[in-house]
Amino acid sequence: MATTTIANISGQNYIGNKLSVTGKITYKTYNPELQEENSIPFYEASDNEINEAVSLASKAFDSYKTFSGKKKAEFLNKIADEILNLGDALVTTYCSETGLPEGRAVGERTRTIFQLRSFAELVSSGSWVEASIDTGNPDRTPMPKPDLRRMNIPLGPIVVFGASNFPLAYSTAGGDTAAALAAGCPVIVKSHPMHAGTGELVASAIIKAAKETGMPDGVFSNLNSSGIEVGQKLAEHAQIKAIGFTGSIKGGRALFDIASRRKTPIPVFAEMGSINPVIVLPDALKTRGEELAKTYANSITLGTGQFCTNPGLILGIESDALDNFINHLSDEIVKINPTCMLHPQIKKAYHLNKEKILSEKQVSIKTTYKQDIANENYASQTLATVSGEDFIQNANLHEEVFGPFSLIVKCKDKGELEKAISSLDGQLTGTILGNNLEISEYNYLLSLLNNKVGRIIFNGVPTGVEVCPSMVHGGPYPSSTDSRFSAVGTSSIKRWVRPFSYQNWPNELLPDELKNENSLGILRLVNNKLTDQPI
């Protein structure tokens, strides 16, 4: 693997279609497997470059917002093609900047391609605009009824902040970007500094696709930055209309605060932290404790625990079966070889946050991987236990430890388990491990859990987020800043649009989606009936 020199990467920003360097600050990415810096310096975007990117995006919006679904689909599909055309260079660069294995890079690329093509299909078929038509009635009394026609239209230029843990699927051309471009919004990506090379390669694929499919210059820009200033300036810019972010609660909240304090506040969709509670019910523990322990040892350590759906909290009711489960889980988890984290900073944060929890006097370490690990970027997986009462009273124990760590809460009875669930912050997911017969005894607990999460899983693991219309990835704060939207799946396009209504508008001047003839053949609510027929 060529890791210290990365082919075809300039270290520059894409300001619309142009590579650009006007700033002086540089930084490098890091190879955590080799424990050394990669060679290419990346140039942080300057204030001029930021303003130029936003100005181009605003101009691009004038035409891009009017493009047909088919034309946007062509662009999205071409991005997918061009990402594939990057070939091995993308995989090699990805691995050199993340410490993640090649299989993960390839898998994440497949997911990214799938997302782009899913959105292409969505906007090509067109019904996603939720067109609604109420025809007028000039004879109604006491007032004539106007003709009203509604559809979703794009918000305007969007800023996307890439995720450290998903350099492809939730970064440069990831879910947020694909959804925003599909909606008709130009996108400016604030590249994640830990994988700036991967970001630039993907950006080059987007720019190539934009040129090949006749998109306006500025429909996409990619800005480098190692600190917070570039992101802050973008979030404050009057012409930016919304923000997508995947990352820490601290980072997401900072952006939310900036966006909320603006003269004209803008929506921020930040997908942030979650400890993803897993509730193990007594019968399941008795009959399947060993099997569940194996499954969970794998889920906790998957991707070195660096998933937002990592199960960081396991709750059960005290019993021999629970103790057996914990013992088996401990045995299984230390059988797994530790793996590399994304970056020394992330490893450091893992260690610090874990130690913070372990230093609480009520918490006991159950097991931790103790063998010497030659590479200090490798994370040793750890399990700890605490009583239900102590967990409920100590909010510090409710904080996410990003990495292969899980805290097991031993509640004395069902009532305490319910209180523990009630005490939780908002979560992306909640999981119930139970047998079909026993679950009906836990209706109230399920009702409490339901208030806290965006997705509820039965006898499975929270890791592994399927990309499909029925997925919800998001949930009550702080798992996301707006639980009314999902960050994964085609429904995530709704974050970047607003409804817009035409009253008594001449048919020939309406967008195709709302014309009488319905030449696009989309589903529309016409006088409260869903139909794909013309009027």
Residues tagged active-site: 271, 308
Shortest spacing between CB 218 and a copy of itself, in angstroms: 16
3-state secondary structure of 396: helix
Distance CA 222, CA 210 (A): 13
- Give the total residue count for the chain: 535
- CA 73 → CA 69, 127, 195, 380, 498, distances in Å? 6, 14, 27, 44, 20
- 101 Cβ neighbours under 8 A, 6+ residues apart: 95
Q: Does 141 bind a copy of itself (CB under 8 A)?
A: no
Q: How far apart are CA 346 and CA 344, in angstroms?
A: 5
Q: Which of 91, 116, 129, 153 binds a copy of itself (CB under 8 A)?
A: 153
457 binds a copy of itself (CB under 8 A): yes
What's the CA gap between 312 and 140, in Å, rounded? 60
Q: Where in 267-286 is the site for a copy of itself (CB under 8 A)?
A: 267
Binders of a copy of itself among residues 156 to 215 (CB under 8 A) are: 156
- Nearest-10 crossing angle of helices 102-125, 69-85: 160
Which of 70, 145 has the CB closer to a copy of itself? 145
* Closer Cβ to a copy of itself, 7 or 468, answer by number: 468
CA-based nearest residue to 191, from 220, 155, 154, 156: 220
Binding segment toward a copy of itself, per CB under 8 A, in 1-9, 140-148, 208-216, 338-346: 140-148
Residue 441 engages a copy of itself in binding (rule: CB under 8 A): no
Main-chain dihedrals φ then ψ at residue 490, nearest 5 degrees? -65, -25
The SS3 call for residue 245 is: strand
Q: Is 449 in the site for a copy of itself (CB under 8 A)?
A: no
Residue 196 CB, shortest distance to a copy of itself, in Å, is 30
Contact letters (x/-) for a copy of itself, 100-139, by CB under 8 A? --------------------------------xxx-----
Among 283, 389, 482, 512, binds a copy of itself (CB under 8 A): 482
469 lines the binding site for a copy of itself (CB under 8 A): yes
Binding a copy of itself (rule: CB under 8 A), the pick from 35, 232, 483, 516 is 483
From residue 238 to residue 257, the character string flagging contacts with a copy of itself as x (rule: CB under 8 A) and all else as - is ------------------xx
Name the amino acid, one letter, at 435: N
8 Å CB contact between 360 and 396: yes
426/474 Cα distance (integer angstroms): 9
Size of the residue set binding a copy of itself (CB under 8 A): 75
**Smallest separation (angstroms) from a copy of itself to the CB of 511:** 10
Q: Is 42 left (phi over 0), alpha (psi -120 to 50) or beta?
A: beta
Tell the burial category of 468 from Cβ atoms under 10 Å away from its Cβ (0-12, 13-18, 19+): exposed
**Given 59, 109, 150, 515, the residue binding a copy of itself (CB under 8 A):** 150
Q: Which stretch, 59-67, 73-81, 297-305, 407-415, contacts a copy of itself (CB under 8 A)?
A: 59-67
Residue 319 sits in the site that holds a copy of itself (CB under 8 A) = no
Q: Residue 51: beta bridge partners?
A: none
Contact call for residue 399 and a copy of itself (CB under 8 A) = no
Distance, CA of 454 to CA of 274 (rounded, Å): 11
Decide if residue 463 touches a copy of itself (CB under 8 A).
no
| Selected binder of a copy of itself within 319, 447, 519, 533 (CB under 8 A) | 447
